[in-house]
Structure 1
C-alpha cells in the first residue's frame, strides 16, 4: 500500500491538471492582488504615521521572499489545485484526518470577508457618483437595531448591499466560465485600475512633487495621555508595538499572512 505522506516525484500525465493558461495569464490573474493595498493603506497611514511607507516596503519584501517557498511547495503537487489550503491540509493530515479538511475550510472561510469588503468598497465607489441627497444613497431598510452595542448602529439593507450583491454575482459568473476567461477579463480590469494608480505614483517623482519633509520625523504616532490627542511618538516599546501592528495589517494585503 502506498504511503500517503510520500509525494511521488513523477506524476502520471492522466493525473495532472489541465494547463489552460500561460504564465502571462497567471500574471494577470494575480495582478488583482495589489488592489488589496487599497483596503488598508489609509488605516496604516493613520495608525503608524510617517513610517507607514517603510511598513509597506518591509511587508512587500517579506511577501517576495515567501513567494519562492510557495512556488516550491506548489511544484510538489502538480495534480492538485487549491493553493495554500492544500499545502496546509497535507501538513495536518498526519496528525488527524479531520484536521486536513478543517484546514482547507478555515483558509477559504478566512478569505470570504475579502469578497464582502471588496464588493462593498466597489459599491461605495459607484454610489459616490450620485448626489448625497439622492434616493439611491439615502434609502435603507432597517432589519435590527444594535443600539446595545453602539448608538445608531443597526443591521440594515441599502443600495450598497444590492450593488455589492450584483457585483459578487458578476464575479461568480466570470469565474464559472473557467480560469482562461477569468484571466482575460482580469487583464482588462487590472490595466484599467492599476494604470491610473501607477501614473499617480510615478508622475510626482518626475515633477518634484515628493517632499522629504512629509517623511519626517521618522517615528510612529502616539496618543498623548493628558490631552488624548495624536502626536509624534518615539521608538520605545509602545512605538515598536504600533509599528508591528502596522506590519500585521499590511501583511494581509501584501502576502496574506494567515497562509504563512
Structure 2
C-alpha cells in the first residue's frame, strides 16, 4: 500500500473487539500506584471510592459508546469532541467551537501521555530492587534506560500496525491480570483476610464532612477516574475496528466489568489483609508484603515481575492512545499536519516518536507523583468537555440524521450533563486543592501550562491549513486557465 493511499484511507480497520479489549486491559493496573495514596486520606472508604468511580465510568461510557457509533471514523474521546464541535463555517479561519473540540483532545492527550514517564520510573525502581547488579546504578540513569528501552520496543512492535500491539496486549494481559487476581484472592483462601480491618477503619478518626474534606474527596474522585474510568480507551480505536458499531460497545463494557471487580477486589484485599497501617508502611508497593504473607518467599518476586509486566502493558495502552489522539487532532486541523503523517502500515509513527521524546524529558523530573497530579487535570477537562459534546450532539439538528446503532437509554443527555458538571468544575477544583496539599502548586502550574501550550499550536495549525487552502485555490485557477 502506498503512502498516498494510506493517507487518504486513514487508520486501517485491522482489529476486532477482542484485540481492542486486550489493549485496554492495561487499565486495571492503574490502581497500583494509588492503593496507599487513597488509604492515607480515606482509609477503607477508598474501596467505595473505587466502586463509585467505576460506576461513573459506566455512566459516562454509555454516552461515549453512542458517540463512537455516531462517528465511526472518529478516534475516541479526542475524535468525538472534535466531530461535535467542528466549525459550522468551514471558511472561517478561527472558529471557537473547533478550538474547544481540539482543546478537549489535547487535554485527553495530556492525560495519557505522562503515563509513559510515570511507569518507566516505577519499572526502573522495581528492577533495582529485583536485580542486585543494578543496585549501584544511579536512579536517573536507571529510569532513562528503562524508559528508552520500553519506548523503542513498543515503537518497533507497533510499527506494522495496531494488530501487533494487540498481540502484545494478549500476552501481557495474562502476565499482569492473572497474578493481580491471584495475589488479591490468596488472603481469602489462606485466612489472612480480616473484615475487621475494613469495618474498624472505615474513615479517619478526624474526618468530618466540611468543605475542606469534601474538596479532598472530590480531588480523590478526580484521581480515581484517571484510573477507574480510563477503560473508555477501548473506544479510541473506533476507526480501526472491523465492525465499529458492535465492536466498540462490547470492548467498552466487558473491560468495565473487569475493572469493577479488579479495583474493588485489590483495594479490599490489601486493606483487609494488611490493615490501613500495613498499607501505609508500604504505600507504593503494598502488594509486595501481601504476596509474601500469603504466597511465601516466591510471592515477592512474583509480585515484582507481575508489576513490571503490568506497567509495560499500561505504557502500551497510553502510547497508542496518545499517538492516536495526536493523529486525530492533526486530521481535524487542530495540530500541525506533521503529527498526522503515517507510515505505509497506517501507524502514526511521527506522533509516537514525539511522545517518546516528550516523556524522556519528563523522566528527568524523577517525581511521578507530581506528573500524575498534573495529568489528572487533563483527564478531568477531557471528560467534562466530551460529555458536554454528547449533550450537544443530542440536541444539535446537524446530527439528528446520523445513524446510532448503539443508543444510550432515553434521557441519557441529562445523565451526561450531570457528570459533565461533576468533572467541570467540581473535580477540577478538587484536584487543584488536593495538589496544593500534597505536592504544592508546582504540579498544578505544570498542568495548566501544558494545557495552555495548545493555544499557540492551534493557531499555527489554522494558519497552516489556510496557507494550504490558498495554494490549492491558486493551483485550481491555474489549471482552469
User: Shorter-chain-normalised TM-score: which range?
Assistant: 0.7 to 0.9
Could you tell me how far 1:111 is from its partner in structure 2? 1.9
Shift of 1:255: 1.0
Match of 1:105 in 2: 106
Q: Which runs of 5+ in 2 are unaligned?
A: 1-7, 88-95, 231-378, 384-481
The 8 Å contact of residues 121 and 147 in structure 2, kept in 1 or not, is answered as yes
CA contact (8 A) 1:92 1:100 kept: yes
- 2:79 corresponds to 1:86: yes
Q: Which of 211, 214, 234 is residue 197 of structure 2 equivalent to?
A: 214
Cα distance between partner residues in 1 of 2:18 and 2:224: 26
Q: Does 1:180 align with 2:173?
A: no
Counterpart Cα distance in 2 of 1:15 and 1:161: 37
Deviation at 1:182, TM superposition (A): 0.8
Q: Does residue 59 of the first structure (1) align with residue 33 of the second (2)? A: no
For residues 11 and 153 of structure 2, the distance between their equivalents in structure 1, rounded to whole angstroms, comes to 26
After superposing the two structures, state which structure 1 stretch, 54-63 or 105-114, moved more.
Answer: 105-114
Native 8 Å contact 1:220 1:243 kept in 2: no
Check whether the contact 1:50–1:219 (CA below 8 A) recurs between aligned residues.
yes
Count of aligned positions: 218
> Residues 127 and 177 of structure 1: is their aligned pair in 2 closer, same or farther, counting only changes over 3 Å?
farther
Match status 1:255 vs 2:268: no
Query: Matched residue of 2:14: which SS?
Result: coil
Match of 1:25 in 2: 19
Alignment partners' CA distance in 2, 1:167 and 1:92: 36
User: CA shift at 1:236, angstroms?
Assistant: 2.2
- SS at 2:72's partner residue? coil
Task: Note the C-alpha offset of 1:103.
Answer: 3.5
User: 3-state SS of the aligned residue for 1:128?
Assistant: helix
Structure 1 residue 99: deviation in Å? Answer: 4.0
CA change 1:209–1:44 in 2 (3 A) is same
Using the TM superposition, give the Cα deviation of residue 112 of structure 1 relative to its aligned residue in structure 2, in angstroms. Answer: 1.2
The Cα shift of 1:17 comes to 5.9
Indicate if the aligned counterparts of 1:60 and 1:255 stay in contact, CA closer than 8 A. Answer: yes
Find the counterpart in structure 1 of residue 136 from structure 2: 138
Contact 1:220/1:242, CA 8 A, preserved across alignment: no
CA deviations over 1:85-122 (Å, ceiling 9, x no partner): 11122333343444443443332133211111122212
Q: Secondary structure at the match of 1:78?
A: coil
Change (3 A) 1:244 1:217: farther
CA contact (8 A) 2:71 2:83 kept: no
Structure 2 counterpart SS, 1:211: coil
Unaligned runs of 5+ in 1: 1-13, 141-155, 222-231
Pick closer, same or farther for the CA change 1:251–1:55 going to 2, 3 Å.
Answer: same
Q: How much has 1:27 moved relative to structure 2?
A: 1.4
Return the alpha-carbon distance in structure 2 between the equivalents of residues 109 and 240 of structure 1: 26
Structure 1 residues 9-66: Cα deviation after superposition (integer angstroms, max 9, x where no partner): xxxxx97964311221121111111111113222111222121111111111111222
Give SS of 1:236's match. Answer: coil
2:209 alignment partner in structure 1:
236
Native 8 Å contact 1:86 1:104 kept in 2: yes
In proportion to residue count, which structure has more helix?
2
* Alpha carbons of structure 1 residues 195 and 52: separation in structure 2 relative to 1, 3 Å: same
Instruction: Measure the CA separation in 1 of the matches of 2:110 and 2:165.
Output: 22
Instruction: Report if aligned partners of 2:81, 2:102 keep a CA contact under 8 Å in 1.
Output: no
Q: Alpha-carbon deviation of 1:205?
A: 2.6
**Match for residue 373 of structure 2?**
none
> Is 1:246 equivalent to 2:220 in the alignment?
yes
Partners of 1:24 and 1:250 lie apart in 2 by: 26
- Tell whether the 8 Å contact from 1:127 to 1:160 is kept in structure 2 after alignment: no
* 1:97-153 Cα deviation digits (max 9, x unpaired): 44443443332133211111122212222221133xx5x34344xxxxxxxxxxxxx
The question of 1:161 aligning with 2:162 is answered no
Distance 1:205 1:168, change over 3 A: same
- After TM superposition, list the pairs within 5 Å mapping 1:67-86 onto structure 2: 67-80=61-74, 82-86=75-79
Check the 8 A contact 1:48/1:246 in 2, yes or no. Answer: no
Counting strand residues as a fraction of each chain, which structure ranks higher? 1
The 2-side partners of 1:177 and 1:101 are apart by 28
